[in-house]
Every structure is written in structure tokens, then in C-alpha cells.
Amino acid sequence: MLTFGPLGLRGIALSMSLFSLIFMARNKYGYGYEFDKFEEYRYLVAVATLSTLYTAVQVFRQVHEISTMKSLMQPRTEGLIDFVGDQVLAYLLISSTSSAIPLTDQMRKVTINVFTDFSAASIAFSLFAFCSLALSAVVSGYKLSTQTYTPIAMDSELAPETGAKRRIIRPKYLKDYITK
């Protein structure tokens, strides 16, 4: 569950961010109805682009790890990047979504046309991407909190498989770690 769950959530976030980006970037219907004339919509496109890139890299990394059974980074670094990245992108997604909603609502009060429909669809996809990344942040936070951290090694001996010297930790009591 903790292997395929985050992959699935990030895959959903990738597709939702990509759809949000495509819907808003293609939202140019003349007569002053172009997304790039509105600051809120440009912000939504910028965040959707960042979210698409981040989730694409994360999905690639996770698929690589599952297929090769090798991690590209140390688990502690990986956990921190996952947690912080998911948190930051989730915040940016909800921020851009909430900034675009009032503008779209005001425009829909005046007229309902293809431009406002595409804007509303892009906002909805961005909201779904936020939900997916927020859940992924919860999972990555759980994984980060359950990691074990080993203290600095105290003994050294030869590794049996390679003959190379490595550090081995042999804790007996907590008092062994306390220096005077």
C-alpha cells in the first residue's frame, strides 16, 4: 500500500495537473477572452506547469524504483523531498485555484460561454490535483515519520561480502551513546 499508493496518487495528480494546464492554456476565444490577459489565470497556468513537472519526475522516480528495486536517493532524503514537495505543490495548487474562482464566478454572472466553461473545467482539474497531492502528502508524512534513523557508528569491522571496512552499530544500552 505504501509503495503503490503514493504512485497512484501522484499519477492522478499528474493527469489532473496536465488537464488543468491544457484546458487553461488553450483557453483563447477572442473578443478579449484570453487567459493570458488575466493575472489569476496566468498564476493557475504557472502552478499547473510546476505541478505537472514535479509529479512527472516523482512518477518516473517511483516507477524506476519499483521496476529496478533500486532507489535513486537515500531513503531519508527521498522522504524529505516527497513530503516537502507534496506540501508545497498542494499549497500552490489550492492557492491558484482559490485565486481563479472569484474571477470565473464574476465572468459567469455576466455571460456563460466557452471561455468561462474552459476556465471552470481547468479550475476543477486543479482542485482534483490538489486533493490528490494533499493525500500524497499525508502518506509521505506518515512514511517520513516512521523511518528509523541510525546514530553514528561506533565500531568498525570488515564487511563479509566485500572485504571492505564498514561501520557497524551495536547498541546495548542507551548509556553507550551518552558521552561524558
Each residue's pLDDT tens digit, 37-90: 999 999 999 999 999 999 999 999 999 999 998 888 888 899 999 999 999 999
Predicted pLDDT at 121: 97
Quick: pLDDT tens for 133-147. 999 999 999 999 988
C-alpha cell at 165: 571496512
CA distance 56 to 21: 14
Closest CA to 158 of 170, 168, 144, 148: 168
Q: 12 pLDDT band (50/70/90 cuts)?
A: very high
Average pLDDT over residues 105-110: 93
Residue linked to cell 499549497: 91
Closest CA to 115 of 99, 100, 129: 100
CA distance 54 to 170: 40
Q: Rg of the Cα trace of the chain?
A: 23
For the chain, the domains span: 4-145
For residue 24, the tally of other CB atoms under 10 A from its CB is 25
Closest CA to 83 of 60, 45, 56, 54: 54
Helix or strand holding residue 57 (H, E): helix 39-68
Closest CA to 131 of 76, 172, 90, 98: 90
In the chain, DSSP assigns E strands to 155-158, 165-168
DSSP helix, strand, coil percent of the chain (3-state; round to 5) = 70, 5, 25
For residue 38, the tally of other CB atoms under 10 A from its CB is 17
Predicted pLDDT at 175: 52
**160, 37 Cβ separation under 8 angstroms:** no
Secondary structure (3-state) at 159: coil
